[in-house]
Structure 1
Amino acid sequence: MTVVDVFAHVLPPEFLARMDAIHPAILAKFPYMKNQLLTDVAEHRASLPADHQQIISAVNLNPEDFVDPKQAAVLCRAANDEIAAMVRANRDVFPAGVAMVPMNNVPAALEIIAEQVAGSDALVGIQLFTQAMGEPITAAAYEPIFAKMAAINTPIWLHPVFDTRKPDNNLTFSWEYELTQAMTGIVAAHYFRKYPELKVIVHHAGAMVPYFSQRIKYIQTPEDYADFKKFYVDTAILGNPLALDLAADFFGSEHVLFGTDSPFGIPPIGPTAVIEQAVSDMTVTAEQKQAILSGNWQRLLASLG
């Protein structure tokens, strides 16, 4: 059985060079991105266990944080072409990729979705972040992106970023809080009801939601509680089978997809082995474990437009 990791990262080297030309030594702002496995495809391939594939998405070096709307759109288009080329040249390990969109240029983002993602043989969705341009991802200006993705029946990968207004951000807890807040915003905006085909894959096993599911049940409305269950989530919490059991219990095991956040988490090559062992140690059935490792992704992929 081939294991499919739905949330693994790359930093396309030509895109990085373009960003570095605009802001020299840009990775000094993001030292964790100084990882050869992000940019060197040969080393990345060599780091993968046998019979493993990855759906690749770019790390959060987002053009809109550095350049004007027109430039951001050009950089995202070029990065998407580069990710698609990586997929086409390495189908055996990268069966698909995830596109970038310029969040300071929503009209261009919608054009990118229509022209680079819809019907693509290589790009199967877009990556959004919990905030963009200092606004929550559910700000009214961004709703057309959710509507467009639902219209083409193609998933959104939801990745956390820090809320820069907060002085005490940390990688252990802050990103999980930001993911939870973004999920709450999506539910509160009734996006799953307005856009029934909307599919959102949330990083880090749905963050705080499984642990606090009963607070959601008794504090929020029954309709909102039901909407929280419509998210897909990955397994990228660096192990912890009991927590993964909670995620499977709340979202349904069919909505849990194997994902690792590789190559981050556990040096030098990422946490794939640790997370795969955690899935093996879950209390769900053998059939459900196999579905988490690959079958759920294949079924989701088959359902897309």
Structure 2
Amino acid sequence: MKIITIEEHYQSANVSKKMDEINATANPEQKQTNKAGLEMAKNFLSSTDDIEDVGERRIKFMDEAGIDMQVIAYGNGNPQTLTDAKAAIALCREANDELASMIRKNPTRFAGFASLPVADPMAAATELERAVKVHGFKGAMLAGTFEGKFFDDPQFLPIFAKAEELNVPIYMHPSIIAKEISDYYFNSTEWSPMLTATFASAGYGWHMDVGIHVIRLILSGMFDKLPNLKIISGHWGEFVPYFLERMDETMLPSMTGLKRNISDYYRNHVYITPSGLFSVPQLQFAIAEMGADHVIYSGDYPYLIDTKSREFLETAPISDEDREKIAHLNVEKLLGLDE
């Protein structure tokens, strides 16, 4: 059985150095955002050896874990976060070019998602088109929000319109949440700052944040405007699948102004992945709630390094037909990997 994982990350040493230089002269808010992303990465990684390698080191892990292909996107510290549009355009282009050059050395083992300079949405759409048409990238990853705005804001519509035009998905990924939200929900004088930071991010907070983000895309009418747009959401859908029926019951089309129920949009336009959360009950729930056709495999390398990736899927108590869909058939169809 072939296994393809699609929420796998890399980081460029050259881009990180330039991000540090920009951070040194950035305004306080931008500096805090940049620093938070880089510091969060350090909390998960003992070194940058794994995340900066897209070659022998990564392939060794993949062989040990039984993974045939990774679809790779930028990790924390993504130049997407830069508010200076000129700098963001240059560094996203550099990040994409560097990743593409590494993928070309092992094209049967790696594919890529683009980083986009969202400070200039038209430039982001142009970069997505370049990444897809020139480098053969399979879509893009958007992390978190931007300057306090979710990507349902009309200014970002060109990015999603271009994705639909190119027939590639957008992966909605967590990132650092706003300080005022973190302070209100996740801070306490009764525990350490490290616990607050973890509770607000990978422990819970940023998963809720990106789940809300996907719901907002639906409520904005994005999928009525772009009926062929596809979105990917990790960590088993960031809690959203557990509340589809509740949202249908409480937020009716008569209230939302949408053509269909929220769950209809979600089940038709969103694909969910485990992001390395290898839990049998969550896998079974995902299949029951979404259908196996909308579940794709992912490991969240190198933030999570699990050499039992293949073993989990091979031994999971699901049908062989569903196993093959989740392992490779769904993602091959969605990303055109079987063409």
Change over 3 Å in CA distance of 1:175–1:277 after alignment to 2: farther
Task: Tell me which residue corresponds to 1:186.
Answer: 217
Cα deviation, 1:210-248, whole Å, max 9, x if unaligned, reads 222321232233522200112011122521111111112
CA RMSD of aligned residues (A): 2.4
The runs of 5 or more residues in structure 2 that have no matched partner are 25-33, 187-199, 253-259
Comparing 198-207 with 106-115, which one deviates more in the overlay?
106-115
Task: Tell me which residue corresponds to 1:253.
Answer: 292
Change over 3 Å in CA distance of 1:215–1:272 after alignment to 2: farther
Larger-Rg structure? 2
> Could you tell me how far apart the structure 2 residues matched to 1:281 and 1:172 are?
27
Task: Tell me which residue corresponds to 2:150.
Answer: 136
Task: Tell me which residue corresponds to 2:191.
Answer: none
Cα deviation, 1:96-115, whole Å, max 9, x if unaligned, reads 10100011111211221222
- Output the amino acid matched with 2:22: I
> Could you tell me how far apart the structure 2 residues matched to 1:124 and 1:107 are?
19
- Shift in Å at residue 251 of structure 1? 1.7
Change over 3 Å in CA distance of 1:67–1:136 after alignment to 2: closer
Number of residue pairs matched by the alignment: 298
Cα deviation, 1:253-300, whole Å, max 9, x if unaligned, reads 0111111111113xxxx1352x54443454431111111011111122
> Could you tell me how far apart the structure 1 residues matched to 2:166 and 2:137 are?
13
Q: Is the 8 A contact 2:248 2:261 kept in 1?
A: no
Task: Tell me which residue corresponds to 2:320.
Answer: 286
1:161-240 mapped onto 2 (5 Å cutoff) = 161-164=175-178, 165-166=180-181, 167=183, 168=186, 169-221=200-252, 222-230=260-268, 231-240=270-279
Establish whether residue 5 from structure 1 lines up as the match of residue 39 from structure 2: no
Change over 3 Å in CA distance of 1:29–1:256 after alignment to 2: closer
1:26-41 mapped onto 2 (5 Å cutoff) = 27-28=38-39, 30-31=41-42, 32-33=44-45, 34-41=47-54
Establish whether residue 83 from structure 1 lines up as the match of residue 99 from structure 2: yes
> Could you tell me how far apart the structure 2 residues matched to 1:190 and 1:97 are?
28
- Shift in Å at residue 4 of structure 1? 0.4
> Could you tell me how far apart the structure 1 residues matched to 2:337 and 2:10 are?
26
Establish whether residue 22 from structure 1 lines up as the match of residue 53 from structure 2: no
Comparing 73-82 with 35-44, which one deviates more in the overlay?
35-44
The runs of 5 or more residues in structure 1 that have no matched partner are none
Structure number with higher strand proportion: 1
Identity %: 26
1:107-146 mapped onto 2 (5 Å cutoff) = 107-117=122-132, 119-146=133-160
Structure number with higher helix proportion: 2
TM-score normalised by length of structure 1: 0.89
Structure number with the bigger relative contact order (C-alpha 8 A, sep ≥ 6) is 2
> Could you tell me how far apart the structure 2 residues matched to 1:170 and 1:145 are?
26
